[in-house]
Structure 1
Protein backbone atom coordinates (compact mmCIF):
# COMPACT_ATOMS: atom_id res chain seq x y z
CA UNK A 1 0.00 0.00 0.00
CA UNK A 2 1.34 3.40 -0.94
CA UNK A 3 0.54 6.12 1.56
CA UNK A 4 -0.63 9.44 0.15
CA UNK A 5 1.55 12.49 0.70
CA UNK A 6 0.58 14.99 3.37
CA UNK A 7 -1.21 18.30 3.05
CA UNK A 8 -0.74 20.33 -0.11
CA UNK A 9 0.69 23.77 0.53
CA UNK A 10 -0.88 25.57 -2.41
CA UNK A 11 -1.86 29.24 -2.15
CA UNK A 12 -5.30 30.41 -3.25
CA UNK A 13 -5.32 31.46 -6.88
CA UNK A 14 -6.20 35.04 -7.80
CA UNK A 15 -9.68 33.88 -8.74
CA UNK A 16 -10.14 32.18 -5.38
CA UNK A 17 -9.01 35.30 -3.51
CA UNK A 18 -11.37 37.48 -5.50
CA UNK A 19 -14.25 35.13 -4.79
CA UNK A 20 -13.44 35.16 -1.10
CA UNK A 21 -13.37 38.98 -1.01
CA UNK A 22 -16.69 39.18 -2.87
CA UNK A 23 -18.31 36.76 -0.45
CA UNK A 24 -17.03 38.85 2.46
CA UNK A 25 -18.47 42.01 0.97
CA UNK A 26 -21.90 40.40 0.57
CA UNK A 27 -21.83 39.17 4.17
CA UNK A 28 -20.91 42.61 5.50
CA UNK A 29 -23.71 44.28 3.52
CA UNK A 30 -26.42 41.90 4.65
CA UNK A 31 -27.01 43.87 7.85
CA UNK A 32 -27.27 40.83 10.09
CA UNK A 33 -25.79 41.32 13.59
CA UNK A 34 -22.51 43.10 14.24
CA UNK A 35 -20.68 41.60 11.24
CA UNK A 36 -18.64 39.19 13.35
CA UNK A 37 -18.69 35.47 12.67
CA UNK A 38 -17.54 32.65 14.89
CA UNK A 39 -14.87 30.51 13.22
CA UNK A 40 -13.28 27.24 14.30
CA UNK A 41 -9.52 27.63 14.83
CA UNK A 42 -7.36 25.43 12.61
CA UNK A 43 -6.03 22.39 14.40
CA UNK A 44 -2.27 22.02 14.06
CA UNK A 45 -0.86 18.58 13.37
CA UNK A 46 0.52 16.91 16.48
CA UNK A 47 4.31 16.85 16.88
CA UNK A 48 5.91 13.74 18.34
CA UNK A 49 9.34 12.40 19.23
CA UNK A 50 10.98 10.22 16.55
CA UNK A 51 10.56 7.04 18.61
CA UNK A 52 6.76 7.43 18.24
CA UNK A 53 6.86 7.43 14.44
CA UNK A 54 5.83 4.58 12.14
CA UNK A 55 3.76 2.82 14.77
CA UNK A 56 6.12 3.32 17.69
CA UNK A 57 8.30 0.23 17.21
CA UNK A 58 10.44 1.14 14.23
CA UNK A 59 12.64 4.10 15.15
CA UNK A 60 15.34 3.46 17.74
CA UNK A 61 16.94 6.24 19.77
CA UNK A 62 19.92 6.13 17.39
CA UNK A 63 17.65 6.27 14.35
CA UNK A 64 15.89 9.25 15.91
CA UNK A 65 19.24 11.04 16.08
CA UNK A 66 19.78 10.04 12.46
CA UNK A 67 16.49 11.65 11.46
CA UNK A 68 17.58 14.81 13.24
CA UNK A 69 20.79 14.86 11.19
CA UNK A 70 18.82 14.35 7.96
CA UNK A 71 15.98 16.80 8.62
CA UNK A 72 17.41 19.27 11.13
CA UNK A 73 14.47 18.61 13.46
CA UNK A 74 14.10 16.62 16.68
CA UNK A 75 10.28 16.55 16.49
CA UNK A 76 8.05 15.32 13.68
CA UNK A 77 4.46 15.17 12.53
CA UNK A 78 2.55 12.24 13.94
CA UNK A 79 2.45 9.28 11.56
CA UNK A 80 -0.89 8.24 10.09
CA UNK A 81 -2.83 5.43 11.72
CA UNK A 82 -1.92 3.01 8.89
CA UNK A 83 1.69 4.17 8.53
CA UNK A 84 3.13 1.42 10.72
CA UNK A 85 5.57 -1.45 10.42
CA UNK A 86 2.74 -3.84 11.35
CA UNK A 87 0.58 -2.62 8.46
CA UNK A 88 3.53 -2.71 6.05
CA UNK A 89 4.39 -6.27 7.08
CA UNK A 90 0.76 -7.30 6.61
CA UNK A 91 0.72 -5.78 3.11
CA UNK A 92 3.99 -7.49 2.22
CA UNK A 93 2.65 -10.88 3.35
CA UNK A 94 -0.50 -10.39 1.29
CA UNK A 95 1.58 -9.48 -1.75
CA UNK A 96 3.85 -12.48 -1.31
CA UNK A 97 0.95 -14.91 -1.48
CA UNK A 98 0.59 -14.13 -5.20
CA UNK A 99 3.96 -12.75 -6.24
CA UNK A 100 7.61 -12.61 -5.25
CA UNK A 101 7.83 -8.95 -6.23
CA UNK A 102 5.99 -5.85 -5.05
CA UNK A 103 6.43 -2.61 -3.16
CA UNK A 104 4.76 -0.33 -0.66
CA UNK A 105 5.22 2.42 1.91
CA UNK A 106 6.14 1.80 5.52
CA UNK A 107 5.81 5.42 6.59
CA UNK A 108 6.68 8.95 5.62
CA UNK A 109 8.43 11.18 8.13
CA UNK A 110 7.71 14.92 8.06
CA UNK A 111 9.06 17.85 10.00
CA UNK A 112 6.39 19.67 12.05
CA UNK A 113 3.79 21.85 10.39
CA UNK A 114 4.88 25.48 10.35
CA UNK A 115 8.54 24.60 9.75
CA UNK A 116 10.50 23.94 6.57
CA UNK A 117 8.88 20.85 5.04
CA UNK A 118 11.41 18.00 4.94
CA UNK A 119 10.25 14.47 4.19
CA UNK A 120 11.94 11.09 4.57
CA UNK A 121 10.13 8.28 2.80
CA UNK A 122 10.61 4.72 4.09
CA UNK A 123 9.45 1.92 1.80
CA UNK A 124 9.64 -1.84 1.29
CA UNK A 125 10.21 -3.96 -1.79
CA UNK A 126 9.82 -7.66 -2.44
CA UNK A 127 12.70 -8.71 -4.68
CA UNK A 128 12.36 -11.64 -7.02
CA UNK A 129 15.72 -13.04 -5.91
CA UNK A 130 18.72 -12.28 -3.75
CA UNK A 131 21.30 -9.77 -5.02
CA UNK A 132 24.03 -12.36 -5.57
CA UNK A 133 27.28 -10.62 -6.46
CA UNK A 134 25.57 -7.58 -7.99
CA UNK A 135 27.03 -4.32 -6.74
CA UNK A 136 24.75 -1.39 -5.86
CA UNK A 137 24.91 1.92 -7.70
CA UNK A 138 28.26 3.67 -7.40
CA UNK A 139 26.88 6.42 -5.14
CA UNK A 140 26.42 3.93 -2.30
CA UNK A 141 28.99 2.99 0.30
CA UNK A 142 28.59 -0.78 0.71
CA UNK A 143 27.74 -1.86 4.28
CA UNK A 144 27.87 -5.28 5.92
CA UNK A 145 24.19 -5.79 6.80
CA UNK A 146 21.81 -8.47 5.54
CA UNK A 147 22.28 -9.75 1.99
CA UNK A 148 23.32 -6.33 0.75
CA UNK A 149 23.21 -2.79 2.09
CA UNK A 150 24.40 0.64 1.07
CA UNK A 151 24.30 4.25 2.21
CA UNK A 152 24.62 7.53 0.32
CA UNK A 153 24.10 11.20 1.14
CA UNK A 154 20.55 10.91 -0.22
CA UNK A 155 19.38 7.57 1.07
CA UNK A 156 20.17 4.04 2.17
CA UNK A 157 18.84 0.52 1.71
CA UNK A 158 19.07 -2.91 3.31
CA UNK A 159 18.26 -6.17 1.50
CA UNK A 160 17.65 -9.24 3.67
CA UNK A 161 16.42 -12.80 3.25
CA UNK A 162 13.40 -13.74 5.34
CA UNK A 163 12.58 -17.33 6.17
CA UNK A 164 9.23 -17.34 7.91
CA UNK A 165 6.25 -19.64 8.23
CA UNK A 166 4.17 -16.96 6.53
CA UNK A 167 6.67 -16.18 3.76
CA UNK A 168 7.76 -19.59 2.52
CA UNK A 169 8.55 -19.63 -1.20
CA UNK A 170 8.96 -22.61 -3.54
CA UNK A 171 10.90 -25.46 -1.91
CA UNK A 172 11.10 -23.38 1.26
CA UNK A 173 13.12 -20.59 -0.37
CA UNK A 174 13.17 -17.30 1.56
CA UNK A 175 11.50 -14.06 0.63
CA UNK A 176 13.97 -11.37 -0.38
CA UNK A 177 13.01 -8.05 1.18
CA UNK A 178 14.44 -4.56 0.76
CA UNK A 179 13.83 -1.58 3.02
CA UNK A 180 14.72 1.86 1.67
CA UNK A 181 14.98 5.33 3.20
CA UNK A 182 15.26 8.37 0.97
CA UNK A 183 14.19 11.99 0.72
CA UNK A 184 10.61 12.56 -0.36
CA UNK A 185 8.95 15.54 -1.99
CA UNK A 186 10.90 18.01 -4.09
CA UNK A 187 14.63 17.22 -4.45
CA UNK A 188 16.94 19.37 -2.35
CA UNK A 189 20.69 19.66 -2.03
CA UNK A 190 22.00 17.36 0.71
CA UNK A 191 23.99 18.79 3.61
CA UNK A 192 27.73 19.26 3.43
CA UNK A 193 28.73 16.51 5.88
CA UNK A 194 28.54 13.48 3.60
CA UNK A 195 29.73 10.91 6.15
CA UNK A 196 27.25 12.12 8.78
CA UNK A 197 24.39 11.86 6.30
CA UNK A 198 25.43 8.37 5.17
CA UNK A 199 25.63 7.22 8.78
CA UNK A 200 22.26 8.79 9.57
CA UNK A 201 20.48 7.12 6.66
CA UNK A 202 22.17 3.79 7.43
CA UNK A 203 21.03 3.96 11.06
CA UNK A 204 17.45 4.81 10.11
CA UNK A 205 17.13 2.08 7.49
CA UNK A 206 18.72 -0.52 9.77
CA UNK A 207 16.29 0.29 12.58
CA UNK A 208 13.23 -0.03 10.34
CA UNK A 209 14.61 -3.15 8.60
CA UNK A 210 15.15 -4.88 11.94
CA UNK A 211 11.62 -3.97 13.08
CA UNK A 212 10.24 -5.22 9.77
CA UNK A 213 12.15 -8.53 10.00
CA UNK A 214 10.85 -9.09 13.51
CA UNK A 215 7.27 -8.23 12.52
CA UNK A 216 7.52 -10.67 9.60
CA UNK A 217 8.80 -13.38 11.94
CA UNK A 218 12.02 -13.86 9.97
CA UNK A 219 14.40 -16.49 11.33
CA UNK A 220 17.37 -14.85 13.07
CA UNK A 221 15.91 -11.42 12.27
CA UNK A 222 16.73 -11.92 8.61
CA UNK A 223 20.43 -12.09 9.40
CA UNK A 224 20.48 -8.44 10.43
CA UNK A 225 22.86 -7.25 13.16
CA UNK A 226 21.43 -5.90 16.40
CA UNK A 227 23.21 -2.59 15.89
CA UNK A 228 23.65 -0.64 12.65
CA UNK A 229 26.78 -0.85 10.54
CA UNK A 230 27.66 2.58 9.20
CA UNK A 231 31.19 2.09 7.87
CA UNK A 232 32.37 0.58 4.60
CA UNK A 233 32.31 -3.20 4.25
Structure 2
Protein backbone atom coordinates (compact mmCIF):
# COMPACT_ATOMS: atom_id res chain seq x y z
CA UNK A 1 0.00 0.00 0.00
CA UNK A 2 0.95 3.66 0.03
CA UNK A 3 2.62 3.31 3.42
CA UNK A 4 5.22 1.02 1.84
CA UNK A 5 5.99 3.58 -0.85
CA UNK A 6 6.18 6.33 1.74
CA UNK A 7 8.79 4.38 3.65
CA UNK A 8 10.84 3.62 0.54
CA UNK A 9 10.76 7.15 -0.84
CA UNK A 10 10.40 9.09 2.36
CA UNK A 11 7.16 10.59 1.05
CA UNK A 12 5.41 12.91 3.45
CA UNK A 13 1.99 11.36 2.82
CA UNK A 14 0.26 14.59 3.81
CA UNK A 15 -3.35 14.16 4.79
CA UNK A 16 -6.01 16.33 3.22
CA UNK A 17 -7.47 17.03 6.65
CA UNK A 18 -6.96 20.54 7.95
CA UNK A 19 -7.22 22.06 11.38
CA UNK A 20 -9.72 24.76 12.23
CA UNK A 21 -6.93 27.31 12.37
CA UNK A 22 -4.33 26.91 9.64
CA UNK A 23 -0.82 28.02 10.57
CA UNK A 24 0.57 31.09 8.87
CA UNK A 25 1.94 30.07 5.50
CA UNK A 26 5.51 31.03 4.59
CA UNK A 27 5.82 33.08 1.40
CA UNK A 28 8.68 30.92 0.13
CA UNK A 29 9.70 27.38 1.03
CA UNK A 30 11.96 24.58 -0.13
CA UNK A 31 10.76 21.65 -2.20
CA UNK A 32 10.37 19.57 0.96
CA UNK A 33 7.88 22.07 2.43
CA UNK A 34 5.88 23.21 -0.59
CA UNK A 35 2.21 22.16 -0.56
CA UNK A 36 2.41 21.27 3.12
CA UNK A 37 5.24 18.79 2.70
CA UNK A 38 3.73 16.86 -0.21
CA UNK A 39 7.19 15.98 -1.53
CA UNK A 40 8.98 15.58 1.81
CA UNK A 41 11.78 13.03 1.61
CA UNK A 42 13.51 11.83 -1.56
CA UNK A 43 10.83 13.35 -3.79
CA UNK A 44 11.95 16.85 -2.79
CA UNK A 45 15.34 16.28 -4.39
CA UNK A 46 13.64 14.96 -7.52
CA UNK A 47 11.50 18.10 -7.73
CA UNK A 48 14.64 20.21 -7.53
CA UNK A 49 16.39 18.13 -10.20
CA UNK A 50 13.61 18.23 -12.79
CA UNK A 51 12.55 21.85 -12.26
CA UNK A 52 15.99 23.32 -11.70
CA UNK A 53 14.69 25.28 -8.70
CA UNK A 54 15.07 24.94 -4.94
CA UNK A 55 12.73 27.62 -3.57
CA UNK A 56 9.02 27.94 -4.37
CA UNK A 57 6.02 29.99 -3.36
CA UNK A 58 4.37 28.54 -0.26
CA UNK A 59 1.44 26.93 -2.08
CA UNK A 60 -1.09 24.76 -0.20
CA UNK A 61 -1.80 21.05 -0.55
CA UNK A 62 -5.19 20.72 -2.30
CA UNK A 63 -5.79 16.99 -1.97
CA UNK A 64 -9.31 17.51 -0.62
CA UNK A 65 -10.16 19.62 -3.68
CA UNK A 66 -8.76 16.95 -6.02
CA UNK A 67 -10.84 14.21 -4.41
CA UNK A 68 -13.94 16.41 -4.43
CA UNK A 69 -13.49 17.24 -8.13
CA UNK A 70 -12.98 13.60 -9.13
CA UNK A 71 -16.04 12.47 -7.18
CA UNK A 72 -18.13 15.26 -8.71
CA UNK A 73 -16.93 14.40 -12.21
CA UNK A 74 -17.85 10.77 -11.71
CA UNK A 75 -21.27 11.61 -10.24
CA UNK A 76 -22.03 13.88 -13.21
CA UNK A 77 -22.22 10.85 -15.50
CA UNK A 78 -20.17 12.70 -18.12
CA UNK A 79 -17.49 10.91 -20.09
CA UNK A 80 -14.81 13.30 -18.85
CA UNK A 81 -14.47 16.08 -16.31
CA UNK A 82 -11.98 18.78 -15.41
CA UNK A 83 -10.21 18.04 -12.19
CA UNK A 84 -8.08 20.08 -9.83
CA UNK A 85 -4.47 21.02 -9.23
CA UNK A 86 -2.97 19.18 -6.29
CA UNK A 87 0.12 21.36 -6.01
CA UNK A 88 1.43 24.38 -7.88
CA UNK A 89 5.19 24.82 -8.10
CA UNK A 90 5.91 28.48 -8.70
CA UNK A 91 9.65 29.10 -8.24
CA UNK A 92 10.87 32.17 -6.40
CA UNK A 93 11.63 34.97 -8.84
CA UNK A 94 9.26 33.68 -11.52
CA UNK A 95 7.57 36.36 -13.59
CA UNK A 96 3.79 36.70 -13.96
CA UNK A 97 3.86 35.05 -17.39
CA UNK A 98 6.30 32.26 -16.51
CA UNK A 99 4.74 28.80 -16.55
CA UNK A 100 4.65 27.18 -13.12
CA UNK A 101 5.08 23.48 -12.52
CA UNK A 102 2.13 21.58 -11.13
CA UNK A 103 0.61 18.24 -10.23
CA UNK A 104 -2.99 17.82 -11.34
CA UNK A 105 -5.67 15.15 -11.66
CA UNK A 106 -8.76 14.91 -13.85
CA UNK A 107 -11.26 12.36 -15.18
CA UNK A 108 -10.21 11.35 -18.67
CA UNK A 109 -12.35 10.39 -21.66
CA UNK A 110 -11.86 6.79 -22.90
CA UNK A 111 -10.72 8.10 -26.28
CA UNK A 112 -7.80 9.87 -24.58
CA UNK A 113 -6.05 6.51 -24.40
CA UNK A 114 -6.23 6.21 -28.17
CA UNK A 115 -4.79 9.71 -28.58
CA UNK A 116 -1.69 8.74 -26.61
CA UNK A 117 0.01 7.19 -29.63
CA UNK A 118 3.65 6.01 -29.37
CA UNK A 119 6.10 8.82 -30.04
CA UNK A 120 9.84 9.35 -30.03
CA UNK A 121 9.21 12.49 -27.98
CA UNK A 122 8.12 10.53 -24.91
CA UNK A 123 9.07 7.40 -23.04
CA UNK A 124 6.26 4.95 -22.28
CA UNK A 125 6.18 2.89 -19.10
CA UNK A 126 4.54 -0.40 -18.25
CA UNK A 127 2.15 0.97 -15.61
CA UNK A 128 -1.56 1.78 -15.39
CA UNK A 129 -3.51 2.17 -18.61
CA UNK A 130 -0.89 4.46 -20.13
CA UNK A 131 2.16 6.09 -18.57
CA UNK A 132 4.41 8.52 -20.46
CA UNK A 133 7.14 11.01 -19.68
CA UNK A 134 8.68 13.64 -21.92
CA UNK A 135 10.51 16.94 -21.80
CA UNK A 136 7.72 18.96 -20.17
CA UNK A 137 6.36 16.41 -17.73
CA UNK A 138 4.78 13.01 -17.16
CA UNK A 139 1.28 11.54 -17.14
CA UNK A 140 -0.27 8.40 -15.70
CA UNK A 141 -3.75 7.09 -16.58
CA UNK A 142 -5.44 4.58 -14.28
CA UNK A 143 -8.85 3.34 -13.12
CA UNK A 144 -10.31 3.32 -9.63
CA UNK A 145 -12.97 1.08 -8.14
CA UNK A 146 -13.93 2.23 -4.68
CA UNK A 147 -16.76 1.81 -2.15
CA UNK A 148 -16.90 5.61 -2.06
CA UNK A 149 -18.41 5.69 -5.56
CA UNK A 150 -21.59 3.77 -6.30
CA UNK A 151 -21.36 1.49 -9.37
CA UNK A 152 -17.60 1.96 -9.74
CA UNK A 153 -17.25 -1.85 -9.87
CA UNK A 154 -19.09 -1.74 -13.19
CA UNK A 155 -17.91 1.72 -14.25
CA UNK A 156 -14.51 2.56 -12.76
CA UNK A 157 -13.47 6.15 -12.23
CA UNK A 158 -10.96 7.01 -14.97
CA UNK A 159 -8.18 9.17 -13.54
CA UNK A 160 -5.41 11.01 -15.36
CA UNK A 161 -2.55 12.21 -13.20
CA UNK A 162 -0.10 14.73 -14.58
CA UNK A 163 3.14 16.40 -13.50
CA UNK A 164 4.51 19.38 -15.43
CA UNK A 165 7.85 20.90 -14.52
CA UNK A 166 6.99 24.41 -15.73
CA UNK A 167 9.53 26.76 -17.29
CA UNK A 168 12.94 25.20 -16.90
CA UNK A 169 16.34 25.09 -18.57
CA UNK A 170 17.06 21.59 -17.26
CA UNK A 171 18.00 19.31 -20.18
CA UNK A 172 15.68 16.51 -21.26
CA UNK A 173 17.47 13.29 -20.33
CA UNK A 174 16.28 9.69 -19.81
CA UNK A 175 17.11 10.05 -16.12
CA UNK A 176 14.96 13.17 -15.77
CA UNK A 177 12.07 11.48 -17.59
CA UNK A 178 12.22 8.65 -15.07
CA UNK A 179 12.23 11.12 -12.16
CA UNK A 180 9.09 12.81 -13.51
CA UNK A 181 7.38 9.44 -13.74
CA UNK A 182 8.40 8.57 -10.18
CA UNK A 183 6.85 11.84 -9.00
CA UNK A 184 3.51 11.39 -10.79
CA UNK A 185 3.36 7.74 -9.71
CA UNK A 186 3.84 8.70 -6.05
CA UNK A 187 1.18 11.41 -6.28
CA UNK A 188 -1.21 8.99 -8.02
CA UNK A 189 -0.81 6.49 -5.19
CA UNK A 190 -1.69 9.24 -2.72
CA UNK A 191 -4.86 10.07 -4.65
CA UNK A 192 -5.73 6.39 -4.88
CA UNK A 193 -5.28 6.07 -1.13
CA UNK A 194 -7.55 9.05 -0.43
CA UNK A 195 -10.24 7.57 -2.70
CA UNK A 196 -9.74 4.10 -1.18
CA UNK A 197 -9.30 2.58 -4.63
CA UNK A 198 -9.18 -1.20 -4.62
CA UNK A 199 -5.77 -2.76 -5.19
CA UNK A 200 -4.06 0.66 -5.39
CA UNK A 201 -6.10 1.36 -8.55
CA UNK A 202 -3.99 -1.28 -10.28
CA UNK A 203 -0.78 0.68 -9.72
CA UNK A 204 2.36 -1.00 -8.41
CA UNK A 205 3.69 0.08 -5.03
CA UNK A 206 7.07 0.74 -6.61
CA UNK A 207 7.17 2.57 -9.97
CA UNK A 208 7.97 0.40 -12.98
CA UNK A 209 10.51 2.29 -15.06
CA UNK A 210 10.85 -0.22 -17.89
CA UNK A 211 9.48 0.79 -21.27
CA UNK A 212 5.94 -0.25 -22.15
CA UNK A 213 4.67 -1.31 -25.57
TM-score, normalised to structure 2's length? 0.72
Partner of 1:47: 28
Partner of 1:64: 44
Is 1:94 the counterpart of 2:75 in the alignment? no
Give the number of equivalent residue pairs: 184
Alignment of structure 1 residues 1-233 onto 2, 5 Å: 46-56=27-37, 58-59=38-39, 61-80=41-60, 83-98=61-76, 99-104=78-83, 105-113=85-93, 119-129=100-110, 135-136=116-117, 138=119, 139-169=121-151, 172-184=154-166, 190-233=169-212
Change (3 A) 1:111 1:231: farther
Structure 1 range deviating more: 156-165 or 92-101: 92-101
5+ residue gaps, structure 2, are 1-24
Partner of 2:18: none
Change (3 A) 1:171 1:183: closer
Cα drift, residue 114 of structure 1: 7.4
Q: Is the 8 A contact 2:33 2:40 kept in 1?
A: no
Change (3 A) 1:146 1:168: farther
The DSSP-based 3-state class of the residue aligned with 1:222 is helix
Give me the whole-angstrom Cα distance separating, in 2, the residues matched to 1:221 and 1:170.
14
Give me the whole-angstrom Cα distance separating, in 2, the residues matched to 1:145 and 1:72.
27
Query: Aligned-residue CA RMSD in angstroms?
Result: 3.0
Q: After TM superposition, what 4+ stretches of structure 1 lie above 4 angstroms from structure 2?
A: 130-135
Give me the whole-angstrom Cα distance separating, in 2, the residues matched to 1:130 and 1:220.
24
Give me the whole-angstrom Cα distance separating, in 1, the residues matched to 2:200 and 2:194.
9
5+ residue gaps, structure 1, are 1-43
CA radius of gyration, larger in: 1
